Chains A and B, each alone.
Chain A
Amino acid sequence: MTVRQLSESLALEVLSLPEPEREVCGAYAGDLLSWVMGRANADNVWVTVMTNANTVAVATLTDVSMVIVTDGSEMPPETLALAKEKGVNLARTKASSYEICVRLGGLLS
């Protein structure tokens, strides 16, 4: 499944989608950045409530396919600008991390 298809299926608010055709493989949920750094795999969708600029660096370095920001977490303009600059796929939803993960479980299995 591609990032674009996933965004449509989950009715996400797309904030930055420089690589819409990127394939998604699995998912990881977490808000502690170091924890995510150590455990998220390349091509995972990363589900988090964190929106500070460091999340973009973590997304870039772990090579996740997309970041889904949950609970309608506020997105600082500098984070969004950085995501666009670094080519990070970024979307947001009002749903909780749990709800998104449940739906991801159905879509990605």
Chain B
Amino acid sequence: MSEPLVFTFEVDGENFTSAGNASVAVKKKLRWLGFPPEIIRRVSVAMYEGEINMVIHAGGGVATVTVLQDRIDIVLEDHGPGIANVELAMKEGFSTATDHIRDLGFGAGMGLPNMKKNTDSMEIQTELGKGTTIKMIINL
């Protein structure tokens, strides 16, 4: 493939039950493109966690997935409150999610660690009151 394939999704911050739609759509596309199941799984998990984070914390955002010859890039961009302490947020078990979110089975403090675990590189740019951009790369 010579031209990169770019998929862009609006993540709806108001609709918690639709969270995951973008990840499922990406999974389908990657499966259709013939990627190995393990790569599809890593992209899906990393993206889903990002989607959930955008819904829980940031009122939604935009997810862009770019399929290149040697890697898949995932960029998650939101205009939420930003992350106050990235180091702390990266720790397994740390979460600022509310009790309501925990009742739904989230807020285990595994989102960002899962994203890091499933990608080859992850970069977080965040500014309080402005928003967060997370860039992840999965090498093929």
Contacts and interface: CB of A to CB of B under 8 A. Distances in A.
Contacts of B118: 38
A54 B110 CA distance: 16
A42 B36 CA distance: 13
Contacts, number: 73
Contact of B106 (A33, A53, A61, A63): A33
B105 interface: yes
B108 interface: yes
> Chain B binding site: helix, strand, loop or mixed by DSSP?
helix
A34 B53 CA distance: 11
Interface residues of A, number: 21
Contacts of A11: none
A32 interface: yes
A35 B48 CA distance: 12
B27 A57 contact: no
B6 interface: no
A94 interface: no
A60 B20 contact: yes
14 contacts: A33-B106, A35-B108, A35-B110, A37-B110, A37-B114, A38-B110, A50-B104, A54-B16, A54-B105, A55-B105, A57-B24, A61-B24, A61-B41, A61-B45
Interface of A: 31-35, 37-38, 42, 50, 52-55, 57-58, 60-63, 78, 86
